Amino acid sequence: MANRGLVTALAAVGAAQLLKLPVHYAKTGKCDVRKLVGSGGMPSSHSSGVSALAAYTATRYGVRTPAFAISAMLGIIVMYDAMNIRRHAGEIAVQVNDLDEDMERLAGREPGIYHKRRRERLKESLGHQPREVAAGSMLGAVIGFLSAVTANR
C-alpha cells in the first residue's frame, strides 16, 4: 500500500522543481534546465515538500495528533535551515569564489592575469530568500490540502 502522505510531499517537491524553470526564464530570459534538479531558487522545493506533508497530515488526521506535530516540527527546521544556514553558506561561497579576483585588485593588478583561476567554484545557490520559502510553503500547503480532501477514507 502506498503512503499517500509521502507521495503528496514528493509530488510537491516535484511541482516546485518544475516551476523553477519558467520562473527563472521569466526573471532572466534564459532557459536553464539545471534549475530542474538544482537547489535554491523560486519556489523552495524543500519548503513545498514539508508544507505539503504538514498540510496533508493536519487535514487528514487533525492538528492535535503526534503525526502533525512531527511533520510541523520537521517543516519548521527545514524552512529555518533553508532561509538561514544554507542561504548564508551560499553568500559565503560568493565571497570565496571572488577572493582571487579581490586579492589581485588589492595588489593593484588586473584580475586573472597573474595566476590560474580556481578550477571549481563553490556552489552559490544553496538556500532561499524568505519569499522563496513562503512561495514553496504556500504551494505545498495547497497540494497537501488537496491531496487530503481527495483521499479515499
| pLDDT, tens only, 99-132 | 666 666 676 666 555 555 555 655 555 566 788 8
Residue 55's alpha-carbon distances to 123, 127, 133, in angstroms, are 32, 23, 15
Residue 107's alpha-carbon distances to 35, 66, 114, 119, in angstroms, are 37, 60, 11, 22
- Contact by Cβ (8 Å): 147, 8: yes
Check residues 71 and 28 and name the one with the higher pLDDT: 71
pTM of this structure: 0.73
Q: What is the pLDDT of residues 1-55, one digit of tens each?
A: 589 999 999 999 999 999 988 888 888 788 877 777 777 777 888 999 999 999 9
Give the per-residue pLDDT at 90: 63
